[in-house]
Amino acid sequence: MIAKVLMQKGRRQYNKLKFIIFCVFLCHFNVFAKRPEYIIEIKNHLFYPDNFSIPENTKVKFIVINYDQTPEQFDSFDLNREKVIFAGKKATIFIGPLSAGKYYFFGEYHPDNARGFVIVDNDNISTNNLSKKYSNNVEVNDVN
């Protein structure tokens, strides 16, 4: 009986939490917007690709996949981003909108090897090509 009441109470709390999260997401409808996607792989403490271009004034999505046996932290002072990617895992980072320029990023745990940069320009065609090119190379099955 007590367990039943507790379960009902727990379910109510869970529903309430789901409702709050939904409301928060609704307040910021941008979360449902589709972003251009770019895939960066970490292999042997190096970023692949280590440079690419993204469109100006557009928010884009980076999917960083770590194929190494050690964790790596995607870090960038220029982009204001910092995220740990555990061994064999992937992580999503959104960047932008950015004005035209060159923005550097690096792996905080291997700052001498793992380095790269993003060029922000208004050449959307080349950006999409790059995105497709690197999307095809990813073997996501290896990563949790």
H helices of the chain, where? Answer: 2-27, 124-136
Q: How far apart are CA 128 and CA 135, in angstroms?
A: 10
- Nearest distance, CB of residue 27 and other proteins, angstroms: 10
SS3 70: coil
- Nearest distance, CB of residue 15 and other proteins, angstroms: 17
Stretch that binds other proteins, among 7-15, 46-54, 75-83, 128-136 (CB under 8 A): 75-83
49 vs 108 by CB, closer to other proteins: 108
Stretch that binds other proteins, among 7-15, 30-38, 123-131, 134-142 (CB under 8 A): 30-38
Q: What angle do CA 101, 106, 42 make, to 5 degrees?
A: 115
x/- letters, 40..59, toward other proteins (CB under 8 A): -----------------x-x
- Nearest distance, CB of residue 77 and other proteins, angstroms: 4
6 vs 82 by CB, closer to other proteins: 82
Query: Are the C-beta atoms of 87 and 144 separated by less than 8 Å?
Result: no
- What are the φ/ψ torsions at residue 39 (nearest 5 degrees)? -110, 130
SS3 113: coil
Cβ neighbours of 15 (radius 10 Å)? 10
x/- letters, 92..111, toward other proteins (CB under 8 A): xxx-xxxx--------xxxx
- Residue 56 tokens read as 């100006």
Residues found near other proteins in the complex (CB under 8 A): 24, 28, 30-31, 35, 57, 59, 61, 70-71, 73, 77-78, 80-84, 86-87, 89-94, 96-99, 108-112, 144
